[in-house]
Structure 1
Amino acid sequence: MVDAGIRLGRKVGMVDKACFDRDVLMEEVARAYGLDNFGDRWFVEALDVLLQSAKEEAGLNAAGDFSAMKQFHHLLRDRLYAQMWFDRHPEILARPIRNPVVIVGPMRSGTTRLHRLLSADQRFANLRSFETISPVPRPDFEEVLEGKREDFRPVLAKRILKVARLANPRTLSIHPTGPYEPEEELGLIAASFYGMKFEAQWRVPTFARWCEQESAVSAYRHMADLLRLIGWSQQESSLRPWVLKTPQHMLDLPALLEVFPDARLIFTHRDPKSVVGSTASLAWNQTIIYADDVDPKAHGREWLRKSELMVERMRQARDAIQKSQMIDVQYDAMDNDWRGSMERIYRFLGLDIAPALPAMQDYLDRSAASKRVPHSYSLAEFGLEEGEVYERFADYISTYRIPTANAVGVTRPPIAAG
């Protein structure tokens, strides 16, 4: 219905055709907002690769390329506004980001649950969904701080989530959220036109391979500056450590640790059969909103490859990380004894869990009470076989003692205590 409406709008001249020319897009946005400083120009090559890949490979329908143009416009505008705020308030960039707690795990490995449990603890700072959709306040935000007007960003986020729900109701049942729910920082990394956010909604293989070969340090530095801006906009104390999480960190741990060298890392692990199947399903349900001819088997193989690469990159990077800086948490352990798992994490963080338990229990009660449609998926619908998945991840399963179901030829040791 959305696609048909956009096609009709273009036919009668009410909706512009999609433009994949970087110079034109940047000039239009600069002219529209009367600003021309987009910040660190590292993003320009990333944008060029993304535009070409989206144009030539994604097979976008009318709704897809319309949404793409809106996203590009939104991200470019936010880069202009971010530099405006940094110039207007230089103290923003001086805000320290100390000892962030970073959850690192494959997609669909329980990172959201862990992130929201930690975010329930008022001793930590966290992003809210509207802030990852729109991390940069509008130019009149000082009036919001003075109580003269409301922040428009939560309103915009509510509208965007409503459209997403209408386009494919399954997407928000797979990953339920709301404007004020704790959310990951993937949108802050995407602000540099980099990362898996785009891969999970469009078929952009050339862009995906480009990102996999590039250093992400510049994208992470910009993410850190956006965190500083968000902390300032929240009037948040810089003494409260951020709780962060996004599967992108699996690929980019060296960049993460260059920008946040004192980060405390919580690694999550789940049966790869569930990780790969759930990841393919999530990305599939997003991609089919924007393209009409998505081959589920090709889609499944790409996310099997990507999941394997994420684990490989994570394992390589861990060799250079001190053991005192990280802890491993099993998805199944969280399912079976969430409190015991959280107590282990709090011992690692050097904090007393007791003050946070009521808020954590409240989150779990609200989550259980919500009428969420269970996420159903299978490997077979994406042309994948259980045996191949377990074979590819056999060493990962064995090394990190991951409980599995029906893993032929894979040893399944008990979960390590302590």
Structure 2
Amino acid sequence: MKRATFDRETLMQKCTEETGLDDFGDPWFHRPYDALVDAIREEARLNRAGDFVAQMQFEKVLKDRLLAQDWFRRHPEILERALPRPVIVVGPMRSGTTRMHRLLAADHRFQNLRSFETISPVPPRDFEPGDEHDQRLVDARKIQRMARLANPRTLSIHPTGPDQPEEELGLLVNSFWGMKHEAQWAIPSYGRWCEQEDSRPAYRQLARLLKLVSWSQQKSSLKPWILKTPQYMLDLDAVIDTFPDARFIFTHRDPKAVVGSAASLAWNQTIIYSDHADAHAVGREWLHKTEQQIARMRRARDRIDSKRRIDVHFEEMDRDWPGVMTRIYQFLGMEIEPALPGMEDFMARSRALKRKPHRYSLAEFGLDEGDVLERLSDYVETYGVRVEQRERRTA
């Protein structure tokens, strides 16, 4: 197998020649691209398959950027669309953000991204808006089938399907930004680089892509978006500036479960692409990232008017999800009754998937419960987070 190349100029030229397009949009993406490539070369220790997949991913993002600019040029009305009053779910990775997002997405009064659209947010050139026969759906099925073959645990940890509601990670990947890369490859220096950078350009691109997705779905621009990704914890200032009229739902969970589950998710993806993955290093990194998520969220959330934010706890949802969702709909000023049938259907399907629970422990990642709790004790006390006593966990 030929060795991959990650050189930015080489791949940009290749994508330009293959598409006949040369406008990649805001060149800010060069900086996270280069930081990411440096980290992959120096730290990721990818196997041959990992090299190949990384190059394919880079080329796909570059082509998507070219195609997006082409759509904006041919249809300037796309960028004129509004993104009014989105509802944004913000919480640490593995704190129940997916469950909350999918419950809200069951309400057709909102709009949401689907899994195939986060994999491929930009339609092909010959796409007709509103077309239900979308090649991206077919491609997403193939990608998810390959992921299941590479490591069956990945889709049991985060179950999804090509047309299921999904988070906006792919829209941030379009700028070579965010935790999606760190959950796939062992690249701590990239994470440290991102911690020092202003992420607003990545969120400007995310908003532009949301408008493109909404236009391609032929949805009303007055319909609010349901948005979520744990990356928002790290970039909350940029999120607030990009969506100044957003409503926020903050999710909270025992930090021991958050860290252990996040480390397990990252580990099960990293081992696909590297034969040298270190479980203890993964554990240390995701403890650090969880600390960063919480600290940065806490610094920014006071900018949000108290009438535009609400807090929800993981165990509350386990115990009484209809009661919690009723409280959220009161916060949103909406009637919950039209949404309940879709929510009940989602919860029934979710319970069926729990027959194969995600099992993990802190110990397998070299972490100690007491140390995790000590480092995150202020978070627990400030938000009244319930701490579980058992060490081996699920979900």
User: Where on the TM-score scale, by shorter chain, does this alignment land: which range?
Assistant: over 0.9
Q: CA offset at residue 327 of structure 1?
A: 0.4
Do the aligned residues in 1 keep the contact of 2:15 with 2:59 (CA within 8 Å)? yes
Structure 2 Cα separation of the partners of residues 262 and 309 of structure 1: 25
| Structure 1 residues 359 and 49, CA gap change in structure 2 (3 angstroms) | same
Structure 2 Cα separation of the partners of residues 371 and 282 of structure 1: 16
In structure 2, the partner of 1:112 is: 98
Q: Does 1:179 align with 2:162?
A: yes
| CA deviation vs aligned residue, 1:218-249 (integer Å, no higher than 9, x gap) | 00000000000000000011111000000000
360-369 or 183-192, larger mean C-alpha shift: 360-369
| Structure 1 residues 396 and 221, CA gap change in structure 2 (3 angstroms) | same
Q: Does 1:349 align with 2:332?
A: yes
Q: Does 1:138 align with 2:124?
A: yes
1:274 counterpart SS class: helix
Correspondence list, 1:176-255, <5 A: 176-255=159-238
In structure 1, the partner of 2:20 is: 34
The structure with more radius of gyration: 1
- Give aligned pairs, total: 390
Structure 2 Cα separation of the partners of residues 380 and 244 of structure 1: 33
Q: Does 1:57 align with 2:43?
A: yes
In structure 1, the partner of 2:393 is: none
Structure 1 Cα separation of the partners of residues 350 and 39 of structure 2: 38
Q: CA offset at residue 302 of structure 1?
A: 0.7
Q: CA offset at residue 216 of structure 1?
A: 0.6
Do the aligned residues in 1 keep the contact of 2:3 with 2:48 (CA within 8 Å)? no
Do the aligned residues in 2 keep the contact of 1:154 with 1:179 (CA within 8 Å)? yes
In structure 2, the partner of 1:69 is: 55
Structure 1 Cα separation of the partners of residues 352 and 60 of structure 2: 35
Q: CA offset at residue 146 of structure 1?
A: 6.4
Correspondence list, 1:91-106, <5 A: 91-106=77-92
In structure 1, the partner of 2:266 is: 283
Query: What one-letter code is carried by the residue in structure 1 that aligns with 2:63?
Result: R
In structure 1, the partner of 2:277 is: 294
In structure 2, the partner of 1:128 is: 114
Q: Does 1:382 align with 2:365?
A: yes
Q: CA offset at residue 207 of structure 1?
A: 1.2
Q: CA offset at residue 319 of structure 1?
A: 2.2
Query: What one-letter code is carried by the residue in structure 2 that aligns with 1:252?
Result: D
In structure 1, the partner of 2:309 is: 326
1:90 counterpart SS class: coil
1:102 counterpart SS class: strand
Q: CA offset at residue 371 of structure 1?
A: 6.7
Query: What one-letter code is carried by the residue in structure 1 that aligns with 2:84?
Result: R
In structure 1, the partner of 2:68 is: 82
Q: CA offset at residue 369 of structure 1?
A: 2.7
Structure 2 Cα separation of the partners of residues 164 and 216 of structure 1: 29
Structure 1 stretches lacking a partner, 5+ long: 1-9, 11-15, 408-418
Structure 2 Cα separation of the partners of residues 137 and 390 of structure 1: 45
Q: CA offset at residue 373 of structure 1?
A: 1.7
Q: CA offset at residue 145 of structure 1?
A: 4.3
TM-score (norm 2): 0.97
In structure 1, the partner of 2:249 is: 266
In structure 2, the partner of 1:5 is: none
In structure 2, the partner of 1:3 is: none
Do the aligned residues in 1 keep the contact of 2:115 with 2:165 (CA within 8 Å)? yes
1:373 counterpart SS class: coil
Structure 1 Cα separation of the partners of residues 376 and 220 of structure 2: 42
2:360 counterpart SS class: coil
Do the aligned residues in 1 keep the contact of 2:88 with 2:227 (CA within 8 Å)? yes
Structure 2 stretches lacking a partner, 5+ long: 391-395
Do the aligned residues in 2 keep the contact of 1:173 with 1:372 (CA within 8 Å)? no
Structure 2 Cα separation of the partners of residues 364 and 146 of structure 1: 29
| CA deviation vs aligned residue, 1:304-345 (integer Å, no higher than 9, x gap) | 011011000000111222111100000000000000100111
| Matched-pair identity in % | 61
Q: CA offset at residue 17 of structure 1?
A: 2.0
2:88 counterpart SS class: strand
Runs of 4+ in 1 over 6 A off after TM superposition: none
Query: What one-letter code is carried by the residue in structure 1 that aligns with 2:346?
Result: Y
Structure 1 Cα separation of the partners of residues 341 and 34 of structure 2: 48
Do the aligned residues in 2 keep the contact of 1:105 with 1:267 (CA within 8 Å)? yes
| 377, 384, 393: which one aligns with 1:401 | 384
| 385, 389, 392: which one aligns with 2:375 | 392
TM-score (norm 1): 0.92
